[in-house]
Structure 1
Amino acid sequence: MIFNFFRTAWRNILKHKTYALINFIGLTCGLTLSLLIFTYTREEMRYDTFHEKLDRMYRIKYTAPNDLLLASSPPPIAPRMKEFFPEVEETARVYGRNISISLPKGNDVIDSFEERNVFFADSSITDIWSLDFIAGDAERALKEPFTVILTDESAKKYFGDSNALGETLIFSGDKLFKVSGVVKKFPTSSHIQFNMLVPYDNMFDLESPEASQRLRNNLDVNFIISHSYTYVLLKEGTDSKTVDARFDDFLKKYALPQLQRGQVFELFPVADIHLQSDMLAEPGTVNSYTTLYIFGGVGLLTLLIACINYINLATAQSFARMKEIGIRKILGSARSQLIVQFLLESFLFCLVAFALSLGGLYSTLPLLNQLTGSELTFAGVLDVQTIVMAISLLLVITVLAGGYPSLFATRFDSVNSLKGGSGLSLGSGNFLRKGLVVFQLIITSALISGSLMILKQLNYLQNRPLGFNKENVLVVQLQSQNLNSIFSGTEGNFVERLESYRKEIGAQSFIKSTALTTSTIGSGIVFRGVVPDGYTQDDNMFVASLGADYDFFDTYNVELLAGRIFSEEVGSDPLEGFVVNEAAVKEYNWGTPEEALGRTINLEGKVGKVIGVVRDFNFAALTTSISALVIDMRVRYGLLSIKMLNENTQDNISVLKSKWNELFPEKTFEFFFLDDQLNNQYQNYQNFGTIITYFTFVAVLISCLGVYGLILFVVQRKVKEIGVRKVLGSTVQGILKLIFMEFTWLILIAFIIAVPFSYYLISQWFENFVYHTSVDVFTYLMSLGIVLTIVGFTIFYNAHKAASANPVNSLRSE
């Protein structure tokens, strides 16, 4: 019996190939999208789960005195927590920076790199993180000074396939570090990525002796400055709230002279960092449950409209099978048997679509990896959890998509079915079918308008005036050189060579100017402790801090409002000159820019006066507002900005690289274009927009199929009506207008419902940005026009054939 049902179901699929193809496309797209979203969502929720002690792992969340929420915290916290809290099993500080690293070869240095994600860490980090050692002893790896743990990728980068254990690397030009361990690189589903781990105390050894001692003394006792990530491992059975409740007592014991209003420390679960962190200075990218909810909702709704397609098409097709149903009833088939028959057909459709969706998943996983930075494989995705989810989804869709058509078709009266009628009222199920199409169009309209707004916002981010000139600026990484170290002989004649390089390239016709900075303008900045004029040491606050040389303001075209910029003619500028922005003048209540001149600033021990005020510019990403900024001159610069007068042609780059190699043969010419760097900081949002655009395309495709199905149903029901109208003199255009109006009302109803729904979601997404575009009427009118055009073509294609048909054929049975 069951075999006969399957055979009949398969015959019906082959008999109605057009319906079958449409259903397969819709269900396959919906299932593929659902599997992709399930895969992505599960991967996002698995962040950091590779740590064996994840349930006991925390990181300090620091609320600074000026209410900044920071992922980093003061260094003295970690060692003192073990003394004070019996609930704490282990603590570790982790501090990351870029380091110039090279390979020794005899008396020569070869293959110099600017190594990113080098983290200085307490040796106890090996007891907190789950490090998978390939070589070396985990117990001793970081306990000896001047040692380094490499990831397997870093080991291969520097030493190829040879054993890296015991080999030597040169840090910052003259410090030798011995490889004490090699570990597997953390998976991409980690909130932090490192290439090297170095003992925490060796961080001070990379500075000059004077700077090293000053930095060590400051970091050992300063409970204000945010510097390192502090990881905490609690003992088993400990509630983190117990520790949080005693932090005030902890601070009173160890940091009473430095306690500030609003200064709060609390434990933040490592498991929640990726999806729930709202802190600045995160070491990696973060996501949010909101994004996952949006993706999950879009996936579910897309699958629903695919099911709606099947319902509409199966219902329309049931009228063509009225005689078959009537004959089966007369020959003794019970209604339950007919329902089983239709459900088996639905199952067969879903089963084939599911098989096709696995192929779709396999082919689209590389795109998902590219957009999300994941490293998912098809074999890794198809685990037991995925298979159980897929089977459950298959059964649910079978019942959901096949349930209503089976109940609808088996209600046909046997006698009327054999005469070509259904025995049902003309309006039977019509409201439900139109309601389902309206639902489809609501989702489609919302996705189209949402996609247009996302694209508009991304375009706004890329083109909004930032207050400085980012065009044609090439930034060279100086590999963290200490420009003052020439006096201690540790860097040879680096400073002299750098000045020679600037002079030589400055003589090129395509170069306007060059400037030295400590941070990349427009994408990130360092916050430092500051005591502005009018405040006391007890009011210790944080301020955005930028190191820049004499040529910075001209190179970046930053507008001066009052006073002057740094000048080589004023010898005191490097030691005590400060330039601030408008936001600093307002925040510190200094009155007008002119009145701010001469005000004193204490920037972590460097005391000087304000010599100039510049107009506010976006020194950080557009997701944050412009805050107070202090610019001063430094002895250490990490970046050389080169302003070109024309396009960044390959010939220009070749000249810059050639000059660099002449003066710095031991150092790699590493550079990036500023405008590319600024655009890349919104890559997550761009990927989000791309994914939503793909979802929208799939939803529009499926919705068109749904409209196609309803048109078929309407045309089949109106064949005789159309024939009568043509006999009575109606034109093809008149009949098309009649059908168009019926669907135009559905589109307008869907659009009216979709607008507030879309507006709410876009408004929520805009909250990620301090600066965003406006939600305008034109965008929604454009989305309405797109929906009307797409649906209009679909209606015209199907309705025109029916309106042009010979009325004699449709009225023959009458």
Structure 2
Amino acid sequence: MFKNYIKIAWRNLLKNKVSTIINSIGLSIGISACILILIFVTYESSFDDYHTNASRTYRVVQHNKLPDQTLYWNTTAYPLAEALRNDFPDIDMVTQTAGPMSREFSIQDQERDVSRFEESEVLFADAYYLRTFDTKWLAGNPDTALNDLNSIVLTQTLVEKYFPKDQDNLQSIMGKTILLQGKDPLKITGVVKDPPPNSNQRYSLLIPYEFFKVNNTFFANNWSGNYQGTTFVVLQNKDQRKLLESKITTWKKKYLKPEDDARISYALQPLQEIHNETLYGSSPRGYIIPTHILYTALLVALFILIIAIVNFVNLITAQSVSRSKEVGIRKALGSKRLDIVIQFLIENGMMIIITLISSILIVHVLIHQLNSHLSIINLKLEFGIKDIGIIIAIGTFTILLAAIYPAIVLSAFKPVQALKNKIRIRKTGAFNFRRSLIVFQFIIVQIFVIAAIIVAFQMDYFKNEPKGFSSSAVITTSVPNHSKLDVFKNILLENTSITDVAYGSGPPMAVNGFQLGTSFRLPEQNIQEAKDAEMKVAGTNYLKFYDLKLIAGRNFTTNKEAFDEFIVNETLVKSYNWTPAEAIGKKIEINEGQATIVGVVKDYHNNSFQYEITPCILLNWSFYHNQAFIKINDPNPEALASLEKTWKNTFPNAVYDYHFLDDAIEKEYVVEGMIYKGFTLFSILAISIGCLGLFGLMSFIISRKKKEIGLRKVLGANVAQIISFFSKEFIQIVVLAFVLAVPFVYYMMNLWLEGFTYRITISIWMFLGGGVLTLFIALVTCSFQSIKAAFSNPINALREE
């Protein structure tokens, strides 16, 4: 009997090819989107879970209490790890890292000349690091690899990149020497697999922390500040966390100055929460996906799947009239209702399984596109055996909801009515239930469409709102040799495609996670009254280059080895209730020394638009002129090649690298860009699925009202009147869905926008635009069905029994 059911089901699927294809498309879209979202959420929730000690590992974070605010840092002072290790023997493990940071290397062997390269993910780690975090070793001894001060451990990718001939024989590169910064020889003592993409511990090579400590004694012994150092502890159990935090509160007095002890406190952040916790910011070279974004994504997955299932149910039950005689004959011949339920369960289940298989193929293709599209965050989603649980769960959920209800509805037909083709579905029953489901679908559709419109305008705001400085066609590159700054600039300006050159520590807006921090106070104030500020070193041409507006005082006239002048922004001036003119000539003291304010610039966005403008101090300090800013009027390949040639001729012993400033600024909004693309994609999917639902509803309505259409035409109704008659059905649905969706989407998007200091104002036309767009698409979708019904021959409908 079961074999017979399979045959009948397969024949019915082939017989109704159009319906089968429409059903499969709608459901496969929903299932594919759901699987993809669940894989993404699982991936983003799994960061650092693979470490053996993950549940007992914590990052030490720092709270800095200032007079006007509290700052939350994910980095700590370098001496902290050793002090914790010495004074708290009950802690299982304490490890210290510095970085990751950029460093230049060179290789020379018998087969080639010197090969120079620069790596941006160089991590200095102590010997405890390899015991704290799981690392897969391909060569070398993990117990001793970082013991030697001048050792280095490479990742597999770097071996393939710089020792391609030796990648199949890793032992052959052990003991070879790599030169750091052109002067320090480091011996290769190990090769490890690259850290998994779902790791906050990012590095391309490891160098002993002791090497960093020896070569950076000021930073390594400074308790007052932090300089990209991270401390991790492994506790005996989770209950030890609160006790240790409490002990550290009084213990820190042993090492911190009284003024630092008053402002600095430490806390322990679970390793597995780092990737989804926004309070402390992202790890160096990493990114954060907030937990609420992941919850939102799960809701989106659920809604997309539900509206796809609702469509499937609608389209199947809309065909119920055409299957009614079949049900009547089977019942008249003695079939029980359970037999018919089983038949339809098998039939619908087969379609769902076929759709699930096609969805798996779709996901397999799309997942590579998604990785490529989001390579900016090193996204590397994979779809394989490990996701079988997700597929089974979605498939079971879909079959339960999408197959059982239609089977029950179709098997409930009474044989006499079915044979006479007089099936009646009460208005208070299935039809209203079905229309309610369609309303629910279009509520979700409206939410996606309106949200996509609002997010698009916020992203446009990020891109086009004045930043307070000029960033167009600006190239940034490093300057390895300060003695050649003037030579380099003069040669560049001889190039007609280059219009201006400036030097400094960084562009006006903090990008790529780099920002110099300091504190400021009046000379007569004590250190406890100091406030936080950004420190930016700027050459004499910096203001003109970036079009920063002086509103009081003057620009720097010279750069000096020991700075003696400050230019500050309006925000800093306002913190003392000065006018810009009053600020000129005032002395302020920062961590690095004291100087006089000679100029005040109009506020510009020194942080991305998610954050407020903070106090900023520009220094005439030539020591930190490590970046060149080049304005190029036509960034064509020839101009870029000429710039590279000039750079390499000027700095022949360094590695050339450059970035467009606008590209770096765009990366500051990578998470927001993902949200925008996600809402746009899901809006398209939701509209597509929703319109299939309307198609199913129209099919259902038309099949029920064939005779009514015939009577109306016989009594003189024209085509326009009949189309209008049908239009009322779905116009009401879309309008009702719009009214119900507006309050929810308004609340949701207001909540999202509150996360930005600078944001757009939600306007009513954004909602109306989404509603009109959805209504227009729905009208176009249903026009085919309604026009076909309006032009049908009334005789064919009226002569049916």
User: TM-score range, shorter-chain basis?
Assistant: over 0.9
The aligned residue for residue 208 of structure 2 is 199
CA distance in 1, matches of 2:144, 2:663: 42
The aligned residue for residue 511 of structure 1 is 498
The aligned residue for residue 87 of structure 2 is 84
Matched, 1:374 2:379: yes
Are the counterparts in 1 of residues 104 and 655 from structure 2 also a CA contact under 8 Å? no
Are the counterparts in 2 of residues 347 and 395 from structure 1 also a CA contact under 8 Å? no
- How big is the shift at 1:590? 4.8
Matched, 1:153 2:157: yes
Q: Secondary structure at the match of 1:87?
A: coil
Are the counterparts in 1 of residues 259 and 527 from structure 2 also a CA contact under 8 Å? no
Deviating more after overlay: 798-807 vs 503-512: 503-512
Q: Secondary structure at the match of 2:92?
A: strand
The aligned residue for residue 639 of structure 1 is 627
**Structure 2 vs 1, CA of residues 717 and 133 (structure 1 numbering), >3 Å: closer, same or farther?**
same
1:357-756 residue pairs with structure 2 within 5 A? Answer: 357-372=359-374, 373-378=378-383, 381-383=384-386, 386-425=387-426, 428-478=429-479, 481=480, 494-524=481-511, 525-533=514-522, 535-568=525-558, 574-587=562-575, 589-632=576-619, 633-644=621-632, 646-756=633-743
Give CA-to-partner distance per residue, 1:39-73, whole Å, 9 cap, x none.
11111121112212112211111111231111101
Q: Secondary structure at the match of 2:534?
A: strand
Deviating more after overlay: 521-530 vs 604-613: 521-530
Structure 1: 5+ residue stretches without partners: 207-211, 482-493
CA distance in 2, matches of 1:106, 1:518: 39
- How big is the shift at 1:777? 1.7
The aligned residue for residue 131 of structure 1 is 135
Are the counterparts in 1 of residues 30 and 304 from structure 2 also a CA contact under 8 Å? yes
- How big is the shift at 1:260? 4.8
CA distance in 2, matches of 1:201, 1:599: 42
- Indicate which of 336, 341, 344 corresponds to 1:342: 344
Q: CA RMSD in A?
A: 2.2
Are the counterparts in 2 of residues 532 and 600 from structure 1 also a CA contact under 8 Å? no
Structure 2: 5+ residue stretches without partners: 167-171
Deviating more after overlay: 774-783 vs 521-530: 521-530
Matched, 1:101 2:114: no
The aligned residue for residue 190 of structure 2 is 181
CA distance in 2, matches of 1:497, 1:107: 32
CA distance in 2, matches of 1:158, 1:606: 43
- Indicate which of 325, 328, 331 corresponds to 1:329: 331
Are the counterparts in 1 of residues 155 and 194 from structure 2 also a CA contact under 8 Å? yes
Are the counterparts in 2 of residues 275 and 288 from structure 1 also a CA contact under 8 Å? yes
CA distance in 2, matches of 1:85, 1:169: 37
With normalisation by structure 1, the TM-score equals 0.92
Matched AA of 1:4: N
CA distance in 2, matches of 1:605, 1:394: 63
- How big is the shift at 1:282? 2.4
1:199-218 residue pairs with structure 2 within 5 A? Answer: 199-203=208-212, 212=216, 215-216=218-219
- Indicate which of 309, 312, 315 corresponds to 1:310: 312
CA distance in 2, matches of 1:427, 1:268: 55
Are the counterparts in 2 of residues 28 and 356 from structure 1 also a CA contact under 8 Å? yes
- How big is the shift at 1:426? 5.4
CA distance in 2, matches of 1:754, 1:13: 36
**Structure 2 vs 1, CA of residues 389 and 199 (structure 1 numbering), >3 Å: closer, same or farther?**
closer
Matched AA of 1:472: A
- Indicate which of 291, 300, 303 corresponds to 1:301: 303
**Structure 2 vs 1, CA of residues 108 and 793 (structure 1 numbering), >3 Å: closer, same or farther?**
closer
Are the counterparts in 1 of residues 253 and 261 from structure 2 also a CA contact under 8 Å? no
Matched AA of 2:79: P
Deviating more after overlay: 176-185 vs 343-352: 176-185
Q: Secondary structure at the match of 1:143?
A: coil
CA distance in 1, matches of 2:185, 2:145: 16
Are the counterparts in 2 of residues 60 and 266 from structure 1 also a CA contact under 8 Å? yes
- How big is the shift at 1:733? 0.2
Matched AA of 2:149: P
Deviating more after overlay: 288-297 vs 715-724: 288-297
Matched AA of 1:725: R
The aligned residue for residue 269 of structure 1 is 270
The aligned residue for residue 169 of structure 2 is none
CA distance in 1, matches of 2:745, 2:227: 40
Are the counterparts in 2 of residues 251 and 259 from structure 1 also a CA contact under 8 Å? no
- Indicate which of 744, 751, 766 corresponds to 1:757: 744
Are the counterparts in 1 of residues 520 and 531 from structure 2 also a CA contact under 8 Å? yes
Deviating more after overlay: 408-417 vs 748-757: 408-417
**Structure 2 vs 1, CA of residues 399 and 130 (structure 1 numbering), >3 Å: closer, same or farther?**
closer
CA distance in 2, matches of 1:626, 1:164: 50
CA distance in 1, matches of 2:738, 2:302: 20
The aligned residue for residue 484 of structure 1 is none
- How big is the shift at 1:638? 2.8
The aligned residue for residue 485 of structure 1 is none
With normalisation by structure 2, the TM-score equals 0.94
- How big is the shift at 1:612? 1.3
Aligned residues: 784
Matched, 1:257 2:246: no
Matched AA of 2:519: V
Are the counterparts in 1 of residues 521 and 529 from structure 2 also a CA contact under 8 Å? no
Deviating more after overlay: 353-362 vs 176-185: 176-185
- How big is the shift at 1:225? 4.0
Give CA-to-partner distance per residue, 1:9-41, whole Å, 9 cap, x none.
222222222211111111111111121112111
The aligned residue for residue 118 of structure 2 is 114
CA distance in 1, matches of 2:594, 2:188: 41
Are the counterparts in 2 of residues 225 and 529 from structure 1 also a CA contact under 8 Å? no
- How big is the shift at 1:800? 0.7
Deviating more after overlay: 339-348 vs 720-729: 339-348
Are the counterparts in 1 of residues 282 and 288 from structure 2 also a CA contact under 8 Å? no
Give CA-to-partner distance per residue, 1:373-407, whole Å, 9 cap, x none.
332343xx222xx3233223323222211222222
The aligned residue for residue 489 of structure 1 is none
- How big is the shift at 1:600? 2.4
The aligned residue for residue 4 of structure 1 is 4
Deviating more after overlay: 450-459 vs 156-165: 156-165
Q: Secondary structure at the match of 1:50?
A: coil
CA distance in 2, matches of 1:529, 1:497: 28
- How big is the shift at 1:502? 0.8
CA distance in 1, matches of 2:504, 2:142: 39
Are the counterparts in 1 of residues 38 and 390 from structure 2 also a CA contact under 8 Å? no
CA distance in 1, matches of 2:337, 2:663: 66
**Structure 2 vs 1, CA of residues 281 and 793 (structure 1 numbering), >3 Å: closer, same or farther?**
closer
CA distance in 2, matches of 1:71, 1:394: 42
Q: Percent identity?
A: 28
Deviating more after overlay: 118-127 vs 56-65: 118-127
